Each structure stands twice: as structure tokens, then as C-alpha cells.
Structure 1
Amino acid sequence: MTSDSHPEHDCVEFVQTALDWLDETDEPDASAESLDDAFALLADQRRRLLLAVMRTYGEALTLPDAAEEVAVRETGHNVTEISAERVREVYLSLYHDHLPRLVDAGLLEYDQERDLVAPDAV
């Protein structure tokens, strides 16, 4: 986002791009369902942050490390300024809620034995 951009304009542009994508697809009903699924996955900030973390690193991270990075991005503070309880809460919500959704969607991979999260190799 540039310093002269406006969030409302960015949102309108994004919606118009999504509508253009729907218009260009051969199967509008299936595409609309895919778009609904994508928006549902992106609706939660913590899921968006986890995806952003994984894109930033581009390689497998332990879930505790990913949780720390998500907590840093949520709070805007250094990891040393974030309580262990906060990081634990982020870890648990990722483990029980957000990570399974992103794995089921094929966006991330998770090795439970090693507690490793990796971007899907699509």
C-alpha cells in the first residue's frame, strides 16, 4: 500500500477484481463456491497472519516458532515483550482451529510428529 492509497479504494479494487475473475470462469457456480471458501479462510486475521508468516519464510517452521511470529505480528511488539501465555494462546488456537482449516484447504502442510508447519508445495 502506498502512502497515497486509500483502504476504501483498495477494497473496491479487490472486489472488482474478484468479480472480474468470476465473470471469466467457465463454471460460475463452482467458481463462486471456491471464492466463498477462499473468503471464509481469509476472514480470520490469525489465519491470514499464519499464511503471511509461511509466505515470508517459505520453508517449514515449528508450530511454536510460527505462533511466536503470529503473536509478534498481531501485537506489533518484539517477541521479548509478549507474554508466554499470549504465545501459548496463539499456539493453541492455531493448532486446534486455524491450522487444520488451512491444511484441509491444501494451503499448508503439518507434520504432527515433528510439530512442523510448511507451505504446501503447489
Structure 2
Amino acid sequence: MTATSHSESDCVEFALTILDTLDTCETTATTVDEVFRLLAEQRRRLLVDVMRTFGEPITLPDAAEEVAVRETGKPVSSISAERVHEVYISLYHDHLPRLVDSGLLEYDQERDMVFPAALRDLTF
């Protein structure tokens, strides 16, 4: 028998918690697969977390800064403008459209504002 690392143990516990939760949900396997695909990318999860934290509309540039802060663990003043711009571009072209299509977020391109959409009904 091999020793299980703390990280592996956390992963197993989290997976079992998710499976227990799925047992109590009334949803299709297709929906579960779609949600796992949607949240598979860390940057998408971070953007959703940013929107849950703020709980109100914010500009996409501000959201990109917050995502960069959470990715790096550094204060925004220590993150290069290029890094924040790279996060913004990936959110704008890839991650945000997927989250908007799913109904989790809304986006006003004219004002460059992201809205929590479905997240606004959650308790923060």
C-alpha cells in the first residue's frame, strides 16, 4: 500500500463530494458533462469567482485584472500590463463567450461590462 499525499486525498474527497451532490440533482448526464467542460478551464472558474465576489457588473478590464491577481497570487501593482492584457484578450475571445452562452454571465460589448446574470441569484 502506498501513502496518499494530502493533495491526492483532497482530490478524492472533492470528487466524492461532487458525486454525492450529483446523486441528489435532477439533471442529465449531458448537462453534467457540459458543466464540467465549461468549468474545466481555471481562467473560467476564476472569472466566475470574480463575478461572484463582486456580485455586480464590472468592466471586463477590471475583471481581467482580478483574474490575473488570482492566477498569480500577486497584487495588481506587481503584475505587468502585458499579462493583464493577455488575460483580457483570452477572456474576451474565449472564456467570456462560453460563459455568456451558458447563461452564467452577460456581457455588454458597447460598455465592455460583465454582468453576473445567473450568479446574481446566488447567496454570496
Alignment equivalent of 1:98, drawn from 95, 101, 108: 95
- Structure 2 residue 29 is matched with structure 1 residue 32: yes
Contiguous gaps of at least 5 residues in structure 1: 1-5
Residues 8, 112 of structure 1: CA spacing in aligned structure 2 closer, same or farther, 3 A cutoff? same
Name the count of aligned residue pairs: 114
Residues 81, 21 of structure 1: CA spacing in aligned structure 2 closer, same or farther, 3 A cutoff? closer
Task: Give 2:44's aligned residue.
Answer: 47
Instruction: Compute the TM-score of the two structures, normalised by the length of structure 2.
Output: 0.82
RMSD: 1.7
What is the identity, as a one-letter code, of the residue corresponding to 2:14?
A: F
Task: Give 2:11's aligned residue.
Answer: 11
In 1, Cα distance between equivalents of 2:25 and 2:57? 33
CA deviation string 1:47-69 (max 9, x = no partner): 11101111111100000000011
SS of equivalent to 1:38: helix
In 1, Cα distance between equivalents of 2:25 and 2:50? 30
Contiguous gaps of at least 5 residues in structure 2: 1-5
What is the identity, as a one-letter code, of the residue corresponding to 1:57?
A: F
Instruction: Compute the TM-score of the two structures, normalised by the length of structure 1.
Output: 0.83
Alignment equivalent of 2:84, drawn from 81, 87, 90: 87
CA deviation string 1:9-40 (max 9, x = no partner): 332233223333444455xxx62111111111
What is the identity, as a one-letter code, of the residue corresponding to 2:95?
A: H
SS of equivalent to 1:36: helix
In 1, Cα distance between equivalents of 2:44 and 2:8? 22
